[in-house]
Copies of this chain bind each other. A is one copy, B any other.
Amino acid sequence: MKIVTANEFKLDREVDYGTPEQNEAVRTIIAAVRSEGDGALRRLSKEFDGVDLQELRVSEAEIEAAYDHVDAEFIEALRQAAANIRAFHEKQKRVSWMDLQDNGSLLGQIIRPLQRVGLYVPGGKAAYPSSVLMNAIPALVAGVPEIVMVTPPATAGEEGINPHILVAAAEAGVREIYRVGGAQAVAALAYGTESIRAADKIVGPGNIYVALAKRAVFGVVDIDMIAGPTDIVVLADEAADPEFIAADLLAQAEHDELSPAILVTPSRTLAQQVRSEVERQLSLLPRKAIAAVSVAEKGAIVVVADLDEGIRVVNAIAPEHTELLVADPFAVLPRIENAGAIFLGAYSPEPVGDYFAGPNHVLPTNGTARFSSPLNVDDFIKKSSVISYSKEALLANGRQIMTLARNEGLEGHARAIEVRLQKEGK
């Protein structure tokens, strides 16, 4: 793991827009689903997942049977996690409001849940039950009445869905599940087919084809942010435990060869300790092949002059996950401007947030914490403005409105006011 100064450190980030071939493939898939519906879903599932789908929808019986294939310890932990996630997101709920004006007018803002949300869940090795909870629960807390999940079969050539995914869905409260994945599933959620009605928004992670499909249908439906590689920055001082830090960096690095895991510290001693400790722990890690690449190519230990410079480095990176392993993390917290989630102190390693504590693990990656937020209840609501002007208010302000409309050359706008003033003899 390289040790560098703040000046030497540079994190290259590019948004993956896919190759022209990938984009063309996605356009073709979307067009096929739009024109052929379920037929295209079956044909593409055969082509990409090697499976002849009978029923697209996962039956209640299959969902119930999934419980026989997961152990009790998993279910218990999942239920506690779901309860924590629910409790945290309940605090994000908002209410509609109306404001009575002095002139008898009412202005307000109505908050409503979206009607139907589509949740994409990857299959294969990247099938994460925790992601099912993290994506579904905020929507349910928002009051979304229809949540529909799409996910490809777990194993090439077979219809079955990963039972842990089905149990997580059932525990969250999702019962409408289709065994289809890839760009074709995104297209189905955006445009609808005979079997799968269109949704208003699509959330959830996926491979490059899923990401490109989401980008392509953005505007027809809403989408969540397009995720880049996951990252972590640990800001630590000399008192921090190098063993903890190394473990936390590796927990990030094991995700993906492109995942940056970065330590920022004013202590050169700690930097060297962590470097040794990363090497030691890495050699014992089942996913060491992946983690070794990300540590070597994307990881870094940035030795800074002091904590102030360290905070500047953190804010410039805008990490998805930020750990504050410093003597007084609450003194540093107000100065962290860009971060998806902030973990304070020695007993808040990032996996606490990934799985359990309650805040969402769907976080802004790739530096987008500069402008975006953890997935939250607001992502599943819509607002409507309400304007009820009184006659008194329109008579008092009508001329000013007409002045502004005429200045913009929109005489029709002015006349919509004028016709009312005239009727009142003004």
Closest Cβ neighbor of A14 among chain B residues: B220
Closest Cβ neighbor of A350 among chain B residues: B416
Q: Does A99 contact B (CB under 8 A)?
A: yes
Interface flags for A345-377 (1: CB within 8 Å of B; 0: not) read 111111111111111100110101111111010
Q: Is the CB of B416 within 8 A of A248?
A: yes
Residues in B neighbouring A130, C-beta threshold 8 A? 404, 408
Q: Does A291 contact B (CB under 8 A)?
A: yes
Closest Cβ neighbor of A284 among chain B residues: B415
Q: Does A241 contact B (CB under 8 A)?
A: yes
Checking B357, B376, B409, B412 against A250 with a beta-carbon cut-off of 8 angstroms, the contacting residue is B412
Residue picked from A73, A337, A370, A374, most chain B C-beta under 10 Å: A370
Closest Cβ neighbor of A79 among chain B residues: B400
Q: Is the CB of B355 within 8 A of A401?
A: yes
Q: Is the CB of A415 within 8 A of B115?
A: no
Q: Is the CB of A370 within 8 A of B410?
A: no
A345 to nearest B CB, angstroms? 6
Complex Cα gap A47–B364 (Å): 38
- Number of A residues near B (Cβ < 8 Å) is 125
Residues in B neighbouring A390, C-beta threshold 8 A? 347
A85 to nearest B CB, angstroms? 11
Q: Does A146 contact B (CB under 8 A)?
A: no
Closest Cβ neighbor of A282 among chain B residues: B412
Q: Does A343 contact B (CB under 8 A)?
A: yes
Q: Is the CB of B254 within 8 A of A74?
A: no
Residues in B neighbouring A344, C-beta threshold 8 A? 106, 386-388
Q: Is the CB of B357 within 8 A of A105?
A: yes
Checking B371, B383, B417 against A200 with a beta-carbon cut-off of 8 angstroms, the contacting residue is B371
Q: Does A193 contact B (CB under 8 A)?
A: no
Interface flags for A82-118 (1: CB within 8 Å of B; 0: not) read 0000001001100001010000011101101011000
Checking B125, B369, B389 against A348 with a beta-carbon cut-off of 8 angstroms, the contacting residue is B389
Q: Is the CB of B385 within 8 A of A340?
A: yes
Checking B15, B329, B338 against A388 with a beta-carbon cut-off of 8 angstroms, the contacting residue is B329
A267 to nearest B CB, angstroms? 19
Complex Cα gap A389–B359 (Å): 12
Q: Does A11 contact B (CB under 8 A)?
A: no
Of all A-B residue pairs in the complex, the 5 with the closest CB atoms, nearest first, are A359-B385, A77-B400, A344-B388, A373-B383, A254-B412
Checking B226, B342, B393 against A385 with a beta-carbon cut-off of 8 angstroms, the contacting residue is B342
Q: Does A341 contact B (CB under 8 A)?
A: yes
Residues in B neighbouring A225, C-beta threshold 8 A? 219
**14 A-B residue pairings within 8 Å (CB atoms):** A78-B404, A110-B342, A243-B423, A250-B416, A251-B412, A251-B415, A254-B412, A255-B410, A330-B388, A352-B394, A353-B385, A357-B389, A359-B385, A359-B387
A76 to nearest B CB, angstroms? 7
A145 to nearest B CB, angstroms? 11
A272 to nearest B CB, angstroms? 19
Residues in B neighbouring A114, C-beta threshold 8 A? 370-371
Q: Does A268 contact B (CB under 8 A)?
A: no
Q: Is the CB of A391 within 8 A of B347?
A: yes
Q: Does A397 contact B (CB under 8 A)?
A: yes
Q: Is the CB of B77 within 8 A of A359?
A: no
Residue picked from A201, A344, A363, most chain B C-beta under 10 Å: A344
Known contacts being A404-B74, A415-B250, is A423 close to B347, with CB within 8 Å? Answer: no
Known contacts being A373-B382, A400-B356, A401-B77, is A348 close to B109, with CB within 8 Å? Answer: no
Interface flags for A407-426 (1: CB within 8 Å of B; 0: not) read 11111111111111001000
Complex Cα gap A202–B395 (Å): 37
Checking B241, B291, B346, B420 against A244 with a beta-carbon cut-off of 8 angstroms, the contacting residue is B420
Closest Cβ neighbor of A374 among chain B residues: B385
Checking B345, B384, B417 against A341 with a beta-carbon cut-off of 8 angstroms, the contacting residue is B384
Residues in B neighbouring A22, C-beta threshold 8 A? none
Q: Does A129 contact B (CB under 8 A)?
A: yes
